[in-house]
Amino acid sequence: MTYSVEIKQLDLAFGAVKVLQGLDLNINEGEFLVLLGSSGCGKSTLLNCIAGLLEITDGQIYIKGENVTWAEPSERGIGMVFQSYALYPQMTVKGNLSFGLKNAKVPKDEIEKRVARAAEILQIGPLLDRKPGALSGGQRQRVAIGRALVRDVDVFLFDEPLSNLDAKLRVDLRVELKRLHNQLENTMIYVTHDQIEAMTLADRIAIMKGGQIMQLASPDEIYNRPRNLYVADFIGSPSMNFIEGHLEGGSFKVDDMVLPMDGYDFAAPQTADRPATIGIRPEHVVTGELVPNAPLQFTVDVDLVEPMGSDTLVYAKLGQHPFRIRMDGQAKVTVGETIAIGVDPSRASLFDKATEDRL
């Protein structure tokens, strides 16, 4: 089977600084892949390598089974959308959409057809004769997407396309992007630092750190079974609670507490005892009348309460360990109160303390 995009042993170095090292990545036909990571992790760099805007140091890139490692960006069959829109300000929207095609000597009626189609899909028909300066941010980004669309390519590359938009527009355009992907069924590679965008849009997410892919999996897998401590900490807001302790005979021990890890899906049979870190998501902690049904029950002292409308975020202390709990928005909790909580070990994550990998 040929992949839509195939990256083999990609190296990229700027002088002595190695930005990407031995990176392998296969992207399926029609897949929506999100490259997620904090700034400086190499995600945009990787996207620019795929686009051909950066010359790689070593390795190979295939698009649709064709080796494009040294091909010009325009010959790779890609369309790209940028964070800053990168529209041509002196041209009308129509000019922006058609300039590249005219340059590629596409016949006039074909250009008209493609522009009309893109305008219809993105609902920018009424804007065609305006200049980018007269458009809102969301409209500009739609035009930028249109410019990639008219190229009639197999692979779309998005470089943080929604980061310059305000919060509400970002949500709207995110939904539109998802709809667009369902409609076009193209391969899309999308760079972002926003985990909500990643979780909502992606078929698979590649979490990057220091030029390497930490985990490449479906959003569900990444959320529920993070492969290491970094991924576990990065995904989820508020982030996971971590408590360091020991794994002994299938139980997690911390201070004088013992948490039998019954129902936890170990990656490999546990033979030796070892120092470990347990991770529990704040939203996986139950409170109130649900507590008696939980396999493990504790009491915590409430430190601080942050009501957020839909949820209430409670900062508490479990023994001496800080512990965040996400409760219902209507929950009545006061500072200084002691409340009962329940935890299900099958939803927790255990990590080796030394290697930080999932156990």
Partner 1 sequence: MAVTDTGQTGAGAKKPSPLFKNLTAKIAAIPMIMTALVVFIGCTLWTIYHSFTKSRLLPAPEKWVGLENYERLWSENRWIVSIENLAIYGACSLILSLTIGFILAALLDRKIRFENTIRTIILYPFALSFVVTGLVWQWILNPQLGLQNVVRSWGWETFTFDPINNADIVIYGILIAGIWQGSGFVMVLLLAGMRGIDEDVWKASRVEGIPAWKTYIFIVIPMMRPVFVTALVIISAGIIKVYDLVVAQTSGGPGIASEVPAKYVIEKMFTSQNLGLGFAASTMMLLSVLVVLIPWAYLEFGGKKNG
Q: Which residues bind partner 1 (CB under 8 A)?
A: 48, 51-53, 72-75, 78-80, 82-90, 99-100, 103-104, 131, 133-134, 144, 147, 151, 159
Provide the 10 A C-beta neighbour count for residue 334. Answer: 8
Residue 46 vs 325, nearer CB to partner 1: 46
Position 55, amino acid: E
- For the chain, the first-to-last Cα distance in angstroms comes to 32
C-alpha angle 105/107/110, rounded to 5°? 125
Q: How far is CA 228 from the centre of its chain?
A: 16
Residue 85 vs 323, nearer CB to partner 1: 85
Position 271, amino acid: T
Find the shortest distance in angstroms from Cβ 108 to partner 1: 17
Find the shortest distance in angstroms from Cβ 150 to partner 1: 10
| Distances, alpha carbon 140 to alpha carbons 151, 195, 315, in Å | 17, 23, 41
Find the shortest distance in angstroms from Cβ 131 to partner 1: 7
Find the shortest distance in angstroms from Cβ 133 to partner 1: 6
Residue 82 vs 315, nearer CB to partner 1: 82
102 three-state secondary structure:
helix
Residue 101 vs 231, nearer CB to partner 1: 101
Q: How far is CA 314 from the centre of its chain?
A: 26
Contacts of 289 (CB under 8 A, 6+ apart): none
The DSSP call for residue 53 is S
Find the shortest distance in angstroms from Cβ 94 to partner 1: 15
Count each helix (H run) and each strand (E run) in the chain, helices first: 8, 20
Residue 55 vs 328, nearer CB to partner 1: 55
Find the shortest distance in angstroms from Cβ 226 to partner 1: 33
Residue 8 vs 131, nearer CB to partner 1: 131
